[in-house]
């Protein structure tokens, strides 16, 4: 389920190039579409229900962080390209390694630090790209940090509230809509009106490529560590880069060090996957 989510997520960066909107309005529409689709599905399944205020506030708070992560992600792509924006997500494992001990008061894992170092080395190689991509890289790093924070807090909130994955996602989307709706009025009207060709892409992005992968991901977070989930998402750049190369010809915009960096990212994912498999075998 986790790797299916990662494959679907690999397409999300492509929409950053297909849709003409800026990062904030793009995410605002994405969340509204996702919220409508998920609410309809849950209503038909009889799983839609209200939450106590305290539980709602915690879950919506996670949604605030998720929305900001998405805004930074698409802003990163639009400031550079799909390949650069998604490659920066690889640093999420590094931020998780730093934030997890602070949030959950646990000891640092030296093996996780080592694996994170491999992934970070890959990102540093990507940093060797032309200076015109530095803003996109900085926004991509911010996006990765916000995602790591979201994943860690989401685990704790899911445990504290006892809500299922679909309910968690629904009210996280509500929180995201509330936050961005407070910011959208400050944008110029022309900046938030989608073009005709954007509508289809927004519908696809908000339904198939948002609701499904996040439901799979949130379910995986109940069985796997945040570090493992974030590290698996380092494969997202591999899928996105392949899609971008086919659709937009972005191979001409990256150099040899970029591919070495991608290889290191893949190695880090394989190492952590092997650790999880061996851990499951010992447990069983």
The per-residue pLDDT for 240 is 82
Closest CA to 245 of 36, 76, 53, 13: 13
- Give the per-residue pLDDT at 280: 57
Instruction: Pick the closest to residue 169 from 80, 63, 269 (CA basis).
Output: 63
Report how far apart, in Å, the C-alpha atoms of 253 and of each of 84, 119, 129, 181, 201 are: 10, 21, 9, 35, 24
Per the listing, tokens 């198939």 go with 208
CA-nearest of 233, 20, 259, 210 to 144 is 233
Residues belonging to the chain:
284
User: d(Cα 44, Cα 252) in Å, to the nearest integer?
Assistant: 47
- What is the spatial distance between Cα 229 and Cα 224, in angstroms, rounded to a whole number? 7
- pLDDT of the residue at 261: 80
Q: What is the pLDDT along the chain (284 residues), one digit of tens a residue?
A: 888 888 898 888 889 889 989 889 999 999 999 999 999 988 988 888 889 999 999 999 999 999 999 999 999 988 888 878 877 877 777 788 788 888 888 777 778 788 878 877 877 776 665 567 788 888 998 999 999 999 899 989 999 998 888 899 899 999 999 999 999 988 876 678 888 889 999 999 999 898 888 778 777 877 777 667 766 776 777 788 778 878 887 666 666 777 788 788 778 777 876 776 676 555 45
The pLDDT of residue 211 is 86
CB-based burial label for 283 (10 Å; 0-12, 13-18, 19+): exposed
- Say what the pLDDT of residue 253 is: 60
Give Cβ neighbours of residue 34 (< 8 Å, ≥ 6 apart).
173, 206, 207, 210, 211
Tokens 């989510």 sit on residue: 5
| Three-class DSSP category at 76 | helix
Q: Is 51 buried (19+), middle (13-18) or exposed (0-12) by CB count in 10 A?
A: middle
Contact (CB, 8 A) for 22 and 191: yes
Q: Which residues contact 145 (CB under 8 A, 6 or more apart)?
A: 91, 92, 95
């Amino acid at each position: 389920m986790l790797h299916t989510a990662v494959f679907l997520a690999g397409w999300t960066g492509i929409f950053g190039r297909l849709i003409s909107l800026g990062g904030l309005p793009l995410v605002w529409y994405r969340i509204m579409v996702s919220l409508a689709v998920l609410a309809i599905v849950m209503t038909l399944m009889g799983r839609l229900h209200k939450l106590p205020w305290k539980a709602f506030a915690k879950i919506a708070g996670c949604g605030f962080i998720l929305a900001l992560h998405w805004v930074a992600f698409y802003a990163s792509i639009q400031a550079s390209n799909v390949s650069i924006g998604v490659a920066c997500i690889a640093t999420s494992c590094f931020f998780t390694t730093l934030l997890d001990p602070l949030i959950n008061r646990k000891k640092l894992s030296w093996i996780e630090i080592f694996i994170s170092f491999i992934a970070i080395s890959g990102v540093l190689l990507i940093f060797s790209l032309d200076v015109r991509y530095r803003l996109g890289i900085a926004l991509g790093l911010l996006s990765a940090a916000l995602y790591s924070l979201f994943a860690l807090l989401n685990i704790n909130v899911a445990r504290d509230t006892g809500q299922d994955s679909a309910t968690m996602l629904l009210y996280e989307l509500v929180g995201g809509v509330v936050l961005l709706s407070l910011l959208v009025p400050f944008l110029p009207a022309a900046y938030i009106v989608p073009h005709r060709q954007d509508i289809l892409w927004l519908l696809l992005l908000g339904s198939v490529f948002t609701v499904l992968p996040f439901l799979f991901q949130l379910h995986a977070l109940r069985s796997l560590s945040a570090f493992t989930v974030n590290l698996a998402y380092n494969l997202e750049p591999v899928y996105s880069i392949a899609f971008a190369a086919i659709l937009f010809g972005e191979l001409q915009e990256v150099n040899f060090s970029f591919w070495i960096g991608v290889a290191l990212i893949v190695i880090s994912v394989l190492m952590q996957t092997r650790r999880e498999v061996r851990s499951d075998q010992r447990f069983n």
